[in-house]
């Protein structure tokens, strides 16, 4: 009877160690980000349409309510490994943003063009609206 309890205890400890090891591997491999790039986004809601060609941020210019604007970005993998790319809009513009693609894989030296559309609601308040686009390399 004592041998059975000892064997059961050893098996339980081995099972816990195996589950812990697998969980640690999963967390390290799939949840850890290699790099996160953030691009600021700006939009002015107004009673006219205006353009802005700034390159240090994603600027949609001035857009009227119930209208939309589009911009494109290129994402290039310059690392010597394959990356899973996730794109996540954040901030007050996040709900207005539609991406042509937000989850994909890039091989070394591979690029992908992403179209970003912003739909301004009919009840949007005039003025400056901001957010950011987080590009996560895993």
What's the domain range around 15?
1-32
Q: Looking at the predicted structure, is the pLDDT value of residue 55 above 60?
A: yes
**Residue 12 sits in the same domain as residue 39:** no
Q: What is the mean pLDDT of residues 65-83?
A: 92
Q: Which H helix or E strand runs over 134?
A: strand 127-137
Q: What is the pTM of this model?
A: 0.72
> What confidence score (pLDDT) does residue 34 get?
77
Q: Which CATH number do you get for residue 111?
A: 2.60.40
| DSSP string over 89-128 | EEETTGGGEEES-SEEEE-TT-EEEEEEEEE--TTPPSEE
My answer on whether 105 and 63 are in the same domain is: yes
User: In total, how many domains does the chain have?
Assistant: 2
pLDDT confidence of residue 32: 61
């Amino acid at each position: 009877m004592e041998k059975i309890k000892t064997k059961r205890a050893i098996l339980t400890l081995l099972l816990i160690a195996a589950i812990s090891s697998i969980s640690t591997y999963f967390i390290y491999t799939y949840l850890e980000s290699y790099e996160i790039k953030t691009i600021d986004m700006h939009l002015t809601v107004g009673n006219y349409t205006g353009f802005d060609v700034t390159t240090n941020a994603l600027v949609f210019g001035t857009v009227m309510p119930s209208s939309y604007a589009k911009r494109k970005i290129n994402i290039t993998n310059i690392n010597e490994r394959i990356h899973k790319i996730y794109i996540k809009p954040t901030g007050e513009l996040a709900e207005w943003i539609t991406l042509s693609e937000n989850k994909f894989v890039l091989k070394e030296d591979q690029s992908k063009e992403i179209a970003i559309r912003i739909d301004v609601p009919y009840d949007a308040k005039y003025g400056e609206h901001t957010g950011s686009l987080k590009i996560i390399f895993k």
